[in-house]
């Protein structure tokens, strides 16, 4: 099987779905954001503030290079898809699943967590989000398959992924 790599916009539920999927499939779970925070000893907002987005993306890539291709679930940061070399790493370690969340649901979720989202710490965060979505959707579409995330809850997302993985 190798790794099942969850990609998608911030707030799409990658970490939550990843934990549930790992539990359901009885596989180990990893999260690139958590790995990065451990490595640098700082929170994601602190890393962005101290190093900037370009350096953050480089650190994400170095974390990916350390991940092996053993079976497991990997949740990634929302912007990890912007670097082509990250896609090379994805192909090396497993298959990618795009968690595609409805814009309205996404905005509602993110409105509750703006302080933890360095790329959205702006007064006009919804415009910034729309720009990020427009730029990233074609990148997320490179995933091996897409799963729709709705208000129905994450159990439905896990079920969709499991169904797509079934032979």
Domain containing 94 equals 3-159
Q: Which residues pair with 149 in a beta bridge?
A: 101
The domain total for the chain is 1
Does any domain span residue 135? yes
pLDDT band (50, 70, 90) for residue 116: low
pLDDT digits 0-9 by tens, 58-100: 999 999 999 998 999 999 998 999 999 999 999 999 999 999 9
Of 165 and 119, the one with more pLDDT? 165
- Over residues 100-125, the mean pLDDT reads 66
pLDDT of residue 45: 81
Is there a domain that residue 84 lies in? Answer: yes
Whole-angstrom distance, CA of residue 17 vs CA of residue 53: 25
Q: What is the pLDDT of residue 152?
A: 77
The CATH number that applies at residue 76 is: 3.40.50.300
Q: Which of the residue ranges 12-16, 23-27, 42-46, 153-157 has the most confident prediction, judged by mean pLDDT? A: 23-27
pLDDT on residue 105: 75
Those residues whose C-beta lies under 8 Å from the C-beta of residue 120, and which sit 6 or more positions away, are 10, 110, 114, 128, 129
Beta strands in 24-163 (DSSP E): 29-31, 72-75, 94-101, 145-149
pTM (2 decimals)?
0.88
pLDDT at residue 97, as a whole number: 97
In a domain, 165, yes or no: no
Structural domain includes residue 8: yes
- Is 65 part of a structural domain of the chain? yes
* Whole-number Å distance between alpha carbons of 16 and 122: 26
- The pLDDT score that the predictor gives to residue 31 is 96
């Amino acid at each position: 099987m190798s790794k099942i790599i969850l990609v998608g916009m911030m707030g799409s539920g990658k970490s939550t779905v990843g934990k549930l999927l790992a539990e359901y499939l009885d596989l180990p779970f990893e999260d690139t954001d958590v790995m990065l925070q451990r490595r640098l000893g700082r929170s994601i907002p602190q890393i962005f503030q101290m190093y900037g987005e370009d350096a953050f993306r480089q650190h994400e890539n170095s974390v990916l290079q350390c991940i092996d291709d053993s079976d497991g679930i990997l949740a990634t940061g929302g912007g990890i898809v912007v670097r082509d070399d990250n896609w090379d790493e994805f192909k090396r370690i497993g298959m990618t699943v795009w968690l595609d969340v409805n814009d309205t649901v996404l905005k509602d979720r993110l409105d509750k967590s703006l302080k933890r989202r360095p790329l959205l710490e702006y007064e006009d965060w919804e415009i910034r989000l729309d720009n990020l979505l427009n730029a990233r959707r074609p990148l997320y579409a490179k995933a091996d398959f897409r799963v729709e995330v709705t208000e129905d809850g994450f159990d439905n997302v896990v079920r969709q992924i499991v169904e797509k993985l079934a032979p």
